[in-house]
Chains A and B, each alone.
Chain A
Amino acid sequence: EAQVTQNPRYLITVTGKKLTVTCSQNMNHEYMSWYRQDPGLGLRQIYYSMNVEVTDKGDVPEGYKVSRKEKRNFPLILESPSPNQTSLYFCASGEGSTEAFFGQGTRLTVV
């Protein structure tokens, strides 16, 4: 079954404690992307990757890092989380002109 898997689904953490949200896809897609969704602001792109070792900033990259060492994984790293990074996060993958698939979302709360 085609799938994008994010972990964890829910996370509460404290300011400054490094965390990683994992994203994995089983469709051999080249394109992967991270978004955050906040009330009234819609889905905003954080980073995207067109292939292994190729990453680009989206609209809101500050405070985030990503890596794409292998095709199937695209982790999102928050080196020093702050309360303004409290949000709902989505990972997506796609291939050329085909349908994009989304993970179930990660609800992050930074206190």
Chain B
Amino acid sequence: KQEVTQIPAALSVPEGENLVLNCSFTDSAIYNLQWFRQDPGKGLTSLLLIQSSQREQTSGRLNASLDKSSGRSTLYIAASQPGDSATYLCAVRSNDMRFGAGTRLTVKP
């Protein structure tokens, strides 16, 4: 059974810092990995999708990497802003789709 782990569970940084969120998974036989953002009590917003054959994807200040052989993905956020404060979830898609517990990010002005 696929296990997905995200560290750290929570992160607080001052505005403007670059930061990295980590996601690891136990079974490398995946279709893709997707990063989501979730604001409190709200739905999931898809940020980036990395196919199993890809190494990274970029969107604006966000860059996600994937090392399938080692079972790891990182989400890099450049020049963080208070509006980036949210919980970030990674989800791994194989036969089904499994989530990590998330990293709660706080960016302080």
Question: Which residues of A are interface residues toward B (Cβ below 8 A)?
Answer: 31, 33, 35, 41-43, 45, 48, 50, 56, 58, 88, 90, 92, 94, 96-105, 107
Selecting from B19-27, B63-71, B75-83, B89-97, the interface stretch reads B89-97
Is there contact, CB below 8 Å, between A45 and B96? Answer: yes
Is there contact, CB below 8 Å, between A97 and B43? Answer: no
Q: Write the chain B residue with the least CB distance to A49.
A: B96
Give Cα A48 to B33, complex, Å: 18
Q: Is B98 interfacial (CB-CB < 8 Å)?
A: yes
Is there contact, CB below 8 Å, between B98 and A97? Answer: no
Q: Is the interface of A mostly helix, strand, loop or mixed?
A: strand
Is there contact, CB below 8 Å, between B91 and A100? Answer: yes
Is there contact, CB below 8 Å, between A42 and B99? Answer: yes
Which chain B residues lie closer than 8 Å to A41 at the CB level?
101
Is there contact, CB below 8 Å, between A100 and B43? Answer: no
Q: How far is the CB of B61 from chain A (nearest CB, A)?
A: 20
Q: Is the interface of B mostly helix, strand, loop or mixed?
A: strand
Give Cα A48 to B99, complex, Å: 14
Most chain B CB within 10 A, of A33, A43, A101, is at: A43
Is there contact, CB below 8 Å, between B31 and A48? Answer: no
Q: Write the chain A residue with the least CB distance to B98.
A: A45
Q: Which of A88, A100, A104 contacts B97 (CB 8 A)?
A: A100
Known contacts A43-B89, A97-B31; A56 and B96 CB within 8 A of each other: yes
Which chain B residues lie closer than 8 Å to A101 at the CB level?
46
Is there contact, CB below 8 Å, between A97 and B32? Answer: yes
Which chain A residues lie closer than 8 Å to B91 at the CB level?
100
12 contacts across the A-B interface (CB closer than 8 A): A42-B89, A42-B102, A45-B96, A48-B97, A50-B95, A58-B96, A90-B44, A97-B32, A98-B49, A99-B49, A100-B46, A104-B43
